[in-house]
Amino acid sequence: MQKGVIGDLHIHSKYARACSKDINVANLEKYARLKGLNLLGTGDFQHPKWLPELKQELTDKGDGILYSKTNFPFVLQTEISLIYSQDNKGRRIHNVVLCPDFETADQFQEYLKSKGRIDYDGRPIFKIPCDEFTESLRSINKDIEVIPAHVWTPWFSLFGSMSGFDSLKDAFRDQSKHIHAIETGLSSDPAMNWRLSQLDDLSIISSSDSHSFWPWRMGRESTKYNMQKMTYKELLRCIRENDIIETLEFYPEEGKYHFDGHRNCGVCVSPEESLALKKVCPKCKTGMTIGVASRVEELADNPLGRKPSSARPFRNLIPLSEIIAHVIGSPVASKKVWEQYNKLINTFGSELNTIEQSEKELAKVVDPKLAGVIAQSTQVQWKPGYDGVYGVPMFGEYPEENKESKSDTKKRIMQKGLGEWN
């Protein structure tokens, strides 16, 4: 396998809403190492309580990468919510921001304070258009990188069916030339994005948008950058020049907004079925939440299977803890799951190393049934996610996964998401 730096450049801190209050640098590093990550975003670096903690816990050795006391690398990163009106429509766009150093972070913090409050949430909201936001950040430091986040999510994204635009240029206008990458989000993968010619000149990256440090959240999506040295400038080069080895992707079917549907009615439909229903819930007769698959179909100017010259490889993965939980029938955070997880990690070094192993090697460590499911987890059928509900993998030996009641579904998602049911 080609060497590279596996980075998750979109996470959150304990100061962001609906996030674990146990997030700190030590926990982020511990579980990033278990996952097999080589570089991690800090999350929420502009927050007035988190930034001082980062300055205390991390050291910048002059190359823009921050190191923990035990030498794990981080990069200053946050996500900002821009909510404003353009062309007589309300827009809600989330952008990831990467920052080269603490001095620039201080200036960025002052800029945001001139526009509103930054103390109430790690992902604050501002009434700033995307083009103005990008231009202002570049005036602070041209090495600040703006990356549209989870670009297909219906409610808060560049192409969101409820809140976004039909093109990058519509959103960023004359500043679109300074946007070098997009983030796929959990409900899409690169192949879906390849269907839009307007994205051909952009890097396609993946990150987790994690609200906790647990390994079934952090690193569930990541990107392997072809970095020749661990510096911020080299990271920027990889992003801006599309020097990416591969992305590691959530199955888009597992994402919470892959298909159209209506959670309250338990209705989940494909794009084709949705069109036949005129995008109206057949039970309550109100409009359904239009998912990523339908939105891609709406904006695509190329057929399924099209692969541009800029395309980079990707793999769809299921978090190891989730696989174990499904096989042994125990919640993802349970002691039973951790016992099996730790056996594998202690043997193979990290989760990403574990999933590279053959069934034969895995069976030396865990039950053969579990080893077989892990080895075959790239060939899984799905009950797709919709309207805020995560998708469910239907492993061949466990058809009962597709027969759970609505209350059981909610219970399972709560167990998996640790409070991220919303």
Q: For residue 354, what are its two tokens?
A: 């574990």
Where are the domains positioned within the chain?
Answer: 5-254, 320-417
Q: Is residue 184's pLDDT more than 70?
A: yes
pLDDT at 128: 98
CB-facing half-sphere around the CA of 341: CA atoms within 13 A: 26
Q: Please give the mean pLDDT across all residues of the chain.
A: 93
Q: Is the pLDDT of residue 398 over 50?
A: no
With cut-offs at 50, 70 and 90, classify the pLDDT of residue 395.
Answer: confident
Over residues 85-111, the mean pLDDT reads: 98
Query: In angstroms, rounded to a whole number, what is the distance separating the alpha carbons of residues 348 and 343?
Result: 9
How would residue 33 be classed by pLDDT, with cut points 50, 70 and 90?
Answer: very high
Fold of 5-254: TIM Barrel (3.20.20)
- Whole-number pLDDT of residue 402: 35
> Measured between alpha carbons, how far is 179 from 335 in angstroms, rounded to an integer?
44
- The residue among 76, 221, 226 whose CA lies nearest residue 150 is 221
Q: What is the pLDDT of residues 319-374, one digit of tens each?
A: 999 999 999 999 999 999 999 999 999 999 999 999 999 999 999 999 999 999 99
CA dist 65 and 72 (Å) reads 10
Antiparallel, parallel or unpaired: β 203-205 and 222-225: unpaired
pLDDT digit string, tens, across residues 44-85: 999 999 999 999 999 999 999 999 999 999 999 999 999 999
Q: Percent of the chain, pLDDT > 70? A: 93
Rounded CA separation 100/142 (Å)? 10
Render the burial of 154-186: b for 16+ CB within 10 Å, e for the rest.
bebbbbbbebbbeebeebbbebbebbbbbbbbb
**Per residue in 379-392, pLDDT tens?**
888 999 999 999 99
> Is the pLDDT reported for residue 404 higher than 70?
no
pLDDT reported for residue 409: 37
Q: 82 and 126 in contact (C-beta within 8 Å)?
A: yes
3-state secondary structure of 255: coil
